[in-house]
Amino acid sequence: MQGKIIKGIAGFYYVDVAESGIYECKAKGIFRKEKKKPLVGDNVEIEVLDEKEKIGNLIQILPRKNELIRPAAANVDQALVIFAVRQPDPNYQLLDRFLIAMEQQEIPSIICFNKKDLAEQKELDQMYQIYSSCGYQVLLTSAEQEKGISRIRKILEGKTTVVAGPSGVGKSSLTNLLQEEVSMETGEISKKLKRGRHTTRHAQLLTVGEHTYLMDTPGFSSLFVEGMEKEELRFHYPEFAEYEGKCRFQGCVHVHEPECAVKQAVEKGKIHRQRYENYVSFYEELKEQEKRRY
Ligand code: GDP
Ligand code: ZN
């Protein structure tokens, strides 16, 4: 039987098998011998030892599509990063850092601005514009007024999505709305998982539909990948791509060089100034880190 590891604690792995339920499994010795550690998100083959008690053994890890370092997980399809339009105001530096970390791990990000009930349409349009012009999918939602929820649900369907964002932006409110339907179908399972949710700080998956999982991330700031080469940073800005190679100097990092196509695009309003300014400050940060290393 095949399923997905949604949680792992103290040598036990909880495996969600569609239409059948959650099995508590142990990894057999072969894993230890092969030094292969099962990860949350792994698709696995299990053998059932007790169907009534839902107990089994992990017997095989199926090939991984990818492996994230932070958070530690396998087979992540995408990331949903949530900020509020107000209360708290969005911290764009933090948002850009998150996007870079995901770009670096080749995970596509979707940006959700929640609490849209707290801002004017004009402001919402601006937020939408900054990031959709970089090529990101941007959602505007209100958990309070239950607006934009079906759109999120569609985007999540059939996928495993890392959810991140600072506290207070409405992550739990949105997650609860997304889980409502599932809870009605499989009340017992959700209860089991919710209980676990408060007792562990490990990464785990929440089931929000068949083959549809959300991954809670235990702490937003821990997601940032360190030790990136400063010359690599520019490749994690999708909106720079069309200008790459068009600057006067080969290998231009778009900071102090003259006749830089990226800087010209910023002047023309084709690249958002705020994004560019964050780029420069991250670049300087990486440069400082590098100096300290030597
Ligand atoms: P989390 O820390 O990101 O999980 O945020 P919560 O879901 O706990 O929400 C934080 C606060 O924001 C709570 O008081 C929610 O009622 C409120 N909140 C969540 N979503 C919305 C929304 O769309 N609009 C408004 N006005 N308040 C919201
Ligand atoms: Zn340049």
Q: What is the pTM of this model?
A: 0.87
Which residue would you say has higher pLDDT here, 221 or 131?
131
Q: Of the ligands numbered here, which is closest to the C-alpha atom of 167?
A: 1
Helix, strand, or coil (residue 268):
coil
Q: How confident is the model at residue 226 (pLDDT cuts 50, 70, 90)?
A: low
Which residue would you say has higher pLDDT here, 9 or 47?
47
| Residue 261 Cα to ligand 2 middle (Å) | 5
Residue 159 has a pLDDT of 97
Residue 292 has a pLDDT of 80
Does residue 198 carry a pLDDT above 50? no
CA–CA separation, 207 and 4 (whole Å): 10
Q: Which two tokens stand for residue 260?
A: 């830089």
Give the torsion sign (CA, 58, 64, 68, 74).
negative
Q: Is the CB of 204 under 6 A from ligand 1?
A: no
Comparing 51-55, 199-203, 238-242, the range with the smallest average pLDDT is: 199-203
Helix pair 171-185, 149-156: axis angle to 10 deg: 70
Q: Which two tokens stand for residue 291?
A: 């100096």
Does residue 254 carry a pLDDT above 60? yes
| Residue 1 Cα to ligand 2 middle (Å) | 53
The predicted model gives 104-122 an average pLDDT of 96
The predicted model gives 265-289 an average pLDDT of 94
Comparing 29-38, 47-56, 68-77, 152-161, the range with the smallest average pLDDT is: 29-38
Comparing 68-77, 190-199, 209-218, 231-240, the range with the smallest average pLDDT is: 190-199
Residue 219 has a pLDDT of 62
Residue 201 has a pLDDT of 54
For residue 250, the tally of other CB atoms under 10 A from its CB is: 6
Does residue 29 carry a pLDDT above 90? no
Please answer whether residues 79 and 107 qualify as being in contact, where contact means their C-beta atoms are separated by less than 8 angstroms: yes
Which residues are CB-neighbours of 75 under 8 A, at least 6 positions away? 4, 41, 42, 43, 64, 65, 66, 160
Closest alpha carbon to 102 in 150, 127, 137: 137
Q: How confident is the model at residue 197 (pLDDT cuts 50, 70, 90)?
A: very low
Q: Is the CB of 88 under 6 A from ligand 1?
A: no
For residue 10, the tally of other CB atoms under 10 A from its CB is: 6
Does residue 70 carry a pLDDT above 90? no
The predicted model gives 88-116 an average pLDDT of 94
Q: Of the ligands numbered here, which is closest to the C-alpha atom of 246?
A: 2
Give, in degrees to the nearest 5, the angle at Cα 237 between 235 and 243: 75
Q: How many residues does the chain have?
A: 294
**What is the tens place of the pLDDT at every residue in 166-185?**
989 999 999 999 987 655 44
Q: Is the CB of 84 under 6 A from ligand 1?
A: no
Residue 187 has a pLDDT of 46
Closest alpha carbon to 4 in 20, 196, 188: 20
**What is the tens place of the pLDDT at every residue in 137-171?**
999 999 999 999 999 999 999 999 999 999 899 99
CA–CA separation, 56 and 44 (whole Å): 12
Residue 11 has a pLDDT of 84
- Residue 12's DSSP bridge partners are 9, 26
The predicted model gives 246-269 an average pLDDT of 97
Please answer whether residues 215 and 160 qualify as being in contact, where contact means their C-beta atoms are separated by less than 8 angstroms: yes
Residue 35 has a pLDDT of 74
| Residue 81 Cα to ligand 2 middle (Å) | 29
What residues have their beta carbon closer than 5 A to ion ligand 2? 247, 252, 254, 260, 262
Helix, strand, or coil (residue 87):
coil
> Going along the chain, which residue ranges are E strands?
2-9, 12-17, 21-27, 43-50, 55-61, 67-68, 73-74, 78-84, 109-114, 137-140, 160-164, 204-209, 212-216
Helix pair 187-199, 171-185: axis angle to 10 deg: 140
Which residue would you say has higher pLDDT here, 227 or 13?
13
Does residue 97 carry a pLDDT above 80? yes
